[in-house]
Amino acid sequence: MTILHIMILIPFVFAIFVPLFYKYFNKRLHTGWFVILIPIIIFVYLLQLIPKIASGATIYETIPWIPSFGINLDMYVDGLSLIFGLLITGIGALVILYSIYYLSKEKEALHNFYVYLLLFMGAMLGLVFSDNILVLYVFWELTSISSFLLIAYWYEREKSRYGAQKSMLITIFGGLAMLSGFIMLSMITDTYSIREMFAMSETIIAHDLFLPAMILILLGAFTKSAQFPFSIWLPDAMEAPTPISAYLHSATMVKAGIYLVARLTPIFGGTAEWFWIISTVGLITLLYGSFNAVKQIDLKGLLAYSTISQLGMIMSLLGIGSAALYFGYGNEAAMYAAAITAAIFHMINHSTFKGALFMVVGIVDHETGTRDIRRLGGLMTVMPITFTVALIGSFAMAGLPPFNGFLSKEMFFASVVKVMEMDAFNMETLGVLFPIIAWVASIFTFIYSMILVFKTFRGKYKPERLEKKAHEAPIGMLIAPIILASLVIVIFFFPNVIADLLLVPAVAAILPSLMEENVLEIHISAWHGFSAELYMTIGVVVIGTIMYLTLKKWTKVYRLYPQNLTINALYNNGLESSQRIAASITNKYMTGYTRDYLAYIFTFFVLLIGGTLIVSNSITIDLTNDAPVNIFEMAIILSMLVAAFTVLLAKSRLTAIISLGVLGYLVSLFFVIFRAPDLALTQLVVETVTTALFLLCFFHLPKFKEQTKKQKKGVPFKPLNLIISIAVGAVVTVFALSANGTQIFEPIASYYEDSYELAGAKNIVNAILVDFRGIDTMLEIFVLCIAALSVYTMIKLRLSRREK
């Protein structure tokens, strides 16, 4: 096993031991101190790879998994996956440090929390380093499951369960759509390797399945990264503890969709469909998130919508930057490729300032007992360190200097301005909408950033409205947000360190052709002259300040939109309607009567088998080569018919059981005549045991009452049951006779011709059961053992209740 595979496996393995640490050491030492070692170790290992990846090298390691189907654990490290790996482990370590002081070791089920967190961390690492699309999908869905568990951590709360269910339904829907797209891609390329697909991008684009595959894959990316209209799950996921929100919804899970779009840009990029879908959805999400963030009264709700907005911004940049592949080479391609640089850079910046802000909101909630903006205010003097971190994070989110958000926001403005000049994809007429939407959304971004910091920390202190007496958080809880806030400032003053070491190899992974031609130079500076983007920033600050100061006068506009037409309302109504319809349908067929269930099963059997025989023209009855039926066989058949009708018409349970046993014993006679003594013995044993069990069971049932009203009237005749019975018998008979005269596939008997040489068995039946179907037989025995233990347990529990 390689180091890269071990790195991904470590969180899963360590998760097994977390309950043991919690059980034996939690009273003396917080469980988080053991868990924090895992992300730190992986983070340090990834740091050592930076020089190698920055020099243009890549790392590829593989382990066979299902080689017969071409599915192997192919792990690949390049500039793009390395950035995500560093974010997953670096932010993960800070979140765990924060959680040690945020979550009480006496009141919280920390073993559950850290097990789920490690599962999620391992799944995210596997996702970003996987080269095999099916392995990537496995990790993708594992992130959905583990995030569901994390969001529902406080499962006793109804809102937590609702938010977890919502996130899982939406993201798993997208994941299944993405799987369909992956399967289409593999059908086109005959490979599961993403790297190999890069070389076949022209073949993929020319294929008829190109557009369906692309749309299905983008559904998975959009649902995971909370793009409009799938963004409704993110605000409800804020019911999770703040460390979870800081980790999942600022730095990791929501970035998985961003990663997928960036990773697949070399395959789909350069096409009008990819450009328009991603850039349009991204801009709409940007505007939708920023507009709705302003009206939030819950601090985490505000951060949720701000995250949606920022993710939309990153997504739109990836869409704009994909146009570089359309132009291929040269300065024009490099001009649009700068949007890819801005997207990756802002993703890093967003992880720093948004992670810090989530932790700040958690501190406010932890130390005051509320996140309601209407009850907060004046905390600047009470919590000065928290206020400082909040100020840095909010101003970075607003895109103000001297914070890293200003640099990437300027690059965003530059990209949407340049896109108007694009001579492709009908941008000559529609391109003007890009900077307009971006500028308007940035104004709302400025407003909600000011609300976050000033409504919470400025104004009059209201201790009577708080559930706790406010005070500064303990230093342990402040370390993580202080580190992130420091990075916000450091990146602003030294952006090109990140550009040289991380951004260049990341962009090279997305746009390899441009990097090979050396036409793309990445240089980030805070001052770039009096340009359009600078004037847009000045406009954002001026208009945003005016709108913030007049907030009460225009926020009434939010009341104009009817609440029953919101996406959340449509989701809730749709979910309730589907549950109601499902319950109605279920109540109709779940009657509680075995005869009804048998009718459903047999009807489906007749339609499926009979329909297949008819459609495939497989009804071929050839009796010329069959052996003649002698008088002994005819006598046994007639006896079986008599026994069968006796079971059907018997008015005594004992008569029915005996007749059923006779029927089974007569079948064993057929095995004797056809020279299969082992089958005959098996049949005799089974029938004897079955008959004894039937007698034992029916002995405890109430006896027939001779004078019941039902018996006076007689058993009602049901024509439908007769039709189904005759149809099943006819289909089975025709199927058996047709199987003798129709050969669709190669007979399976040839597979067992060498049973003596392969298994050393002179009896082919024994060889099949013991050697060829050994595992199957073992599992059948295992299932029977489980069933027996279950029955024994139920009987013991019933007896113990009686004794009490």
Could you report the per-residue pLDDT of 775-800, keeping only the tens digit for each?
Answer: 777 888 889 999 999 999 888 887 77
The predicted pLDDT at position 620 comes to 78
Asked if residue 212 belongs to a domain, the reply is no
The predicted pLDDT at position 703 comes to 63
Contact (CB, 8 A) for 290 and 309: yes
Residues 290, 322 share a domain: yes
Contact (CB, 8 A) for 114 and 39: no
Find where tokens 């319950």 sit: 583
Contact (CB, 8 A) for 348 and 495: no
- Residue 411 above 70 pLDDT? yes
Asked if residue 443 belongs to a domain, the reply is yes
| pLDDT tens figures, 2-49 | 889 999 999 999 999 999 988 888 888 899 999 999 999 999 999 999
> Which residues, 6+ apart, have CB-to-CB distance to 170 below 8 Å?
223, 230, 232, 233
Residues 575, 479 share a domain: no
Residues 577, 500 share a domain: no
| pLDDT tens figures, 219-266 | 999 999 999 999 999 999 998 899 999 998 877 888 999 999 999 999
- Residue 712 above 60 pLDDT? no
**Residue 764 has which token pair?**
């082919």
Asked if residue 803 belongs to a domain, the reply is no
| pLDDT tens figures, 338-361 | 899 999 999 999 999 999 999 999
Asked if residue 347 belongs to a domain, the reply is yes
Lowest mean pLDDT among 307-321, 423-437, 539-553, 696-710: 696-710
Q: Pick the closest to residue 310 from 322, 302, 321 (CA basis).
A: 302
Helix (H/G/I), strand (E/B), else coil: 59: strand
**Residue 206 has which token pair?**
């020319």
Residues 568, 425 share a domain: no
| pLDDT tens figures, 97-128 | 999 999 988 888 899 999 999 999 999 999 99
C-alpha to C-alpha distance for 24 and 520, rounded to whole angstroms: 56
Lowest mean pLDDT among 8-12, 165-169, 682-686: 682-686
Residues 576, 520 share a domain: no
Q: If you write DSSP's letter for every residue of 15-58 in order, what string do you get? A: HHHHHHHHHHHTTTS-THHHHTHHHHHHHHHHHHHHHHHHTT--
Asked if residue 521 belongs to a domain, the reply is yes
pTM of the model: 0.82
Q: Pick the closest to residue 7 from 130, 143, 126, 138 (CA basis).
A: 126
Question: How many domains, in total, are found in the chain?
Answer: 2
The predicted pLDDT at position 182 comes to 96
More confident residue, 489 or 751: 489
Residues 329, 308 share a domain: yes
The predicted pLDDT at position 516 comes to 60
Residues 507, 568 share a domain: no
- Residue 708 above 50 pLDDT? no
- Residue 330 above 70 pLDDT? no
Q: Which of 497, 525, 552 is the last residue of a domain?
A: 552
The predicted pLDDT at position 498 comes to 92
Residues 297, 390 share a domain: yes
Residues 584, 469 share a domain: no
pLDDT band at 704 (very low <50, low <70, confident <90, very high): low
Asked if residue 454 belongs to a domain, the reply is yes
What's the mean per-residue pLDDT of the chain? 88
- Of all residues in the chain, what percent are helix, strand and coil, respectively (each to 5)? 75, 0, 20
Residues 470, 444 share a domain: yes
**Residue 427 has which token pair?**
């941008």
C-alpha to C-alpha distance for 496 and 525, rounded to whole angstroms: 8
> Which residues, 6+ apart, have CB-to-CB distance to 386 below 8 Å?
360, 363, 364, 379, 457, 472, 473, 478, 481
Residue 259 Cα distances to 265, 699, 753, angstroms? 10, 66, 53
pLDDT band at 520 (very low <50, low <70, confident <90, very high): low
Q: Which of 552, 568, 598 is the last residue of a domain?
A: 552
Q: Which of 552, 582, 604 is the last residue of a domain?
A: 552
Helix (H/G/I), strand (E/B), else coil: 700: coil
**Residue 384 has which token pair?**
């000065």
The predicted pLDDT at position 710 comes to 47
Which whole number is the average pLDDT over 436-445?
96
Quickly count: other Cβ atoms within 10 Å of residue 769's Cβ: 16
| pLDDT tens figures, 759-774 | 777 777 777 777 767 7
Contact (CB, 8 A) for 548 and 294: no
| pLDDT tens figures, 455-491 | 999 988 888 888 888 889 999 999 999 999 999 999 9
Residues 575, 436 share a domain: no
Q: Which domain holds residue 396?
A: 269-552
| pLDDT tens figures, 135-163 | 999 999 999 999 999 999 999 999 999 99
Residues 459, 327 share a domain: yes
Helix (H/G/I), strand (E/B), else coil: 705: coil
Residue 445 Cα distances to 135, 290, 356, 633, 721, angstroms? 37, 5, 17, 87, 68
DSSP alpha helix (H) spans, 630-761: 631-649, 653-673, 677-699, 709-713, 719-741, 755-759
- Residue 801 above 90 pLDDT? no
Asked if residue 16 belongs to a domain, the reply is no
